[in-house]
Amino acid sequence: MRGNTGNESPIRLVIHGGAGAVKPGQRREREQAYREALAQSLIAGHAVLAAGGSSIDAVIAAIAVMEDCPLFNAGKGSVLTHDGRNELEASIMEGVTRAAGAVAGVTTIRNPIRAAHAVMTKSPHVMLIGQGAEIFAAKQGLEIVDSSYFYTQHRWNQLQKAIAKESILLDHDAGLDTLPGEDEKRGTVGAVAVDSHGNLAAGTSTGGLTNKHSGRVGDSSIIGAGTYADNRSVAVSTTGTGEMFIRTAAAFNTAAQVRFLHAPITEAADNTLEEIAAIGGDGGLIVLDADGNYAMRFNTGAMFRGTIGGDGIARTGIFSGPETPAMSS
Per DSSP, helices labelled H in 202-264 are: 242-247, 250-261
DSSP assignments along 117-133, one per residue: HHHHHHSS-SEEEHHHH
Torsion angle (degrees, nearest 10) of CA 44, 323, 12, 273: 110
Contact indicator for 327, 40 with CB cutoff of 8 Å? no
Catalytically active residues, by annotation: 188
Determine the Cα–Cα distance for residues 269 and 284; give it in Å rounded to an integer.
Answer: 9
DSSP assignments along 41-76, one per residue: HHHHHHHHHHTT--HHHHHHHHHHHHHT-TTSSSST
Contact indicator for 184, 170 with CB cutoff of 8 Å? yes
Give the sign of the dihedral formed by CA 326, CA 57, CA 20, CA 269.
Answer: positive
